[in-house]
Each structure stands twice: as C-alpha cells, then as structure tokens.
Structure 1
Amino acid sequence: MKIGVIDYGMGNLYSVEQALLRLECEVFITSDKNELDQMDGYLLPGVGAFPDAMNRLNELGLDEYIQEIAKTNKPLLGICLGMQLLYEDSTENSLTKGLGIFIGNIEKFEDLDSQQHQVRIPHMGWNPLSFTHQPEWLDGLEKEDSTHVYFVHSYLAQNTRQHEVVASSTYAGQFVPGLVQKENVTGMQFHPEKSGPFGKYLLSKWVQQVQKRSDHS
C-alpha cells in the first residue's frame, strides 16, 4: 500500500514518514503529480504559516490537485497546518483563501479567557479528545485507555459544520475541533505521530481505511 506524503516544502516530513513506515506502509515524499497519481492514499503535513503554505501549494499546482483528490475515493489526511489548509480561509497574517474542502475559517485563539486572563499562545501540550460520534473506521475506540493527543497551534478552525467535527478538545475555554472528516478527507489538528498510543491507534485506523478502499478499487 502506497502513501504519498505531499511535499510542498513545509512540514515535519521525517516524523510522519517514520510513523507510516512503522505501520508497514510504502511511503513516497513527493510533489510530483505523476508519482502522486500512483498512490493509494495521501497525507498533507504542515508546519508554519497558512499564507506561506498556500503560496507554495499554488506555485506547485498542488492546490487544485488536492481539491481533485477530495472528489475521488482515495483517503486524504491533513495534519496540523495540513488540516487548516483544508478549510475555506485563514486570517493568519492576512486573509488567505484555503482549499475549501471543509466549511469553516481558521482564526487565532482569543487572547483573553472568560475570566479576562491572558491566554498562553500557542496552545501546546496534551489534551483529551471528546468524540461526538464514531465513524465506522474507528472501530475499537471504546477499548482505548486514553484519548490524549499532542497539540501545537496558535490558530484553530471556527464556524465549522457540526457533522464534520468527529472529535474536539478545549483550550482556555475555547472549542477546538480536533478530528474532522468529510467523506474521504480527514483532518487532525494535533500531531498523531507524536501522540503516543492513541495517536498510533488513530493513524493505524486511517491506514487501514486506505487499505480497504484500495482493495475495493
């Protein structure tokens, strides 16, 4: 099974690659669309600023390519900034149009909490995920001892669609969409490759989904 890690020059590619290799995937880190065409599933990583990332995707013609993936049966997973890029736009630095696969906007955490205390930004650390519903591919979820995952982000998805948010967390009283899904496209605001046993569980379940769809294609 071949997983294409979409390389647009922004992302912690090594840790993602190692996590996928441990799950016995063939991993191809590439921006070559001809090579990406041969993949069974795709991972869109991301570390850095939203406008820079979109500029890179646009320059490489990968923005339209990713939008086309969303219309196919092949699974696509966006991680951290990679998830944020899947939304309509972001106010980071300046208003920047995103890929528009999910409904919603990427906005910065509020500076003050409900008690008017300064909020530490970025949100960095371990938080549990609360699941609003359980997709079919997340079988065995109830057997997991902990749902804690590792977040590092200053911006979050706002104005989201309830049915697209599978699991959420909270930070300084703010609702944080953590795991989102729309048909074959999944987003994880946290880093599953750095999130211990539960992160491995989520990534392995996503990989199994890729395998099943590949077998039936």
Structure 2
Amino acid sequence: MADGVATVVISHPAKRNAMTAGMWRALPGLLSALAQDSSVRVVVLTGAGPTFCAGADITSLRGDDDPQALSVAAEEALAAFPKPTIAAIRGFCVGGGSQLAAACDLRFAEAGAQFGVTPAKLGIVYPASSTRRLSALVGPSTAKYLLYSAELIEAEHALRAGFLNELLPAGELDKRVAEFARTLTARSQLTQAAAKEFADGRTDRDAHWAAQAAGSDDTAEGVAAFLERRAPAFTWTPPAD
C-alpha cells in the first residue's frame, strides 16, 4: 500500500490470472481486512503481467466446490467494499474477470484490452446478481449481446458501451490510475461513502447520511478551503462497526 491506495493483484500467470477456488475464497477476507484499515482510502484491483483475469480456473475446483457460489461471494464482497474501488485492466478481462471488474466502482483499461462474458460457451446460467449488475452498467441491450454471444469485444467497444470509464494508450494505465487514485484520497470520504450507497441503489440510508453530514465538519472545511484557495483537510472517517 502507498499513500492510502491498496493494490490487490490477481496473480496466476500460468493460466492468464484465471481465478482458482482458493483465490475466490481468499478475496472476501482480504477485502474485509482492507475495509477495517483506516489508512486505506482506495483499492485498485489489477492483474499480474499483461492480463487482468481470463476467468475461472475450472481445473482447481474440488468435487464439493460450487464455482458460481464462490465467484458470487467474491463479487459481492468487492461490490460492497465501502471505499472507492478501481479496476486497472490490461489484456484479457473475461468471464470471472469481467464479473470482478463490473463489481468495482470504476474501470480504467489500456488499449488492446478485450472483454467478454462467456457462460453461453459452457451452458451456464450466469448469476442473477451478476446479470443485473452488468445490465445496470452497460444497459440491457449490451448485456444481452455479451451474454447471448459470449464473444469478446475490444476496449473501444467497452468504452462506448459504458463498461469502461477511461481508455488509456499503451503504457499509460498505471500512471493514470495512480494519479486518479491520489485524487480520490484527497476528496471527502463522507461524500464518497454516501455517493457509493446512493448510486448503488440503497434507499434505506437517507437519514443515516443526513445525520453523518450534520455531525461532520467536512462541509465547513470544504467551503473554507475553497474561499481560502487551499487544499481542504477533510476529517470525516467511516464510523467503526
């Protein structure tokens, strides 16, 4: 971790970073530890080497493993992470890789990346929660295009569809993600935490966030910093569970 930014690396180079059963199981616990660490302000999810994640490593499953349950648990843990998350994508982002990327708040990719949601190649019913998340991100028509065909799309297509927030030239992904993550660490955690829940569809937390805002000095600090032409020093932090 550096300067409030924790980087989680998907690393299984022999299989283009395909997620093993053990990797799926480890992710929720890792994210829980990062969520409890007050020094962590942003999490970046990326892949080792030239590939983000090529899906699930089916060969790693045992007879008692439920691959869909494992992937959904990891996906939901990532989606529920209370601080900003960024997927930094290069190379293949396919199957379980797209599932994890879609669960992040933001997705930045390098030119040449390829994306696909491939259960139709295996006769698998894509999880309901994953389908709804994908549809909310790119719209029902594009979600159906991806799910029906299982074809890969280029990064430019993913950007137009709304799957990506930014598409960077080759060699510039890491620099841009680091720069943007630093920007996020300088902003109000109160604003970010409330915005994440509202944007993700929570409808039962209006009073909670109104109370948090009323008890915080972030607004006064933000206005004062603006008038004094200085960087704000926001102080709100997530309340302990």
Q: How high is the TM-score relative to the length of structure 1?
A: 0.39
Bigger proportion of residues as helix: 2
Higher RCO, 1 vs 2 (CA within 8 Å, ≥6 residues apart)? 1
Bigger proportion of residues as strand: 1
Structure with bigger gyration radius: 2
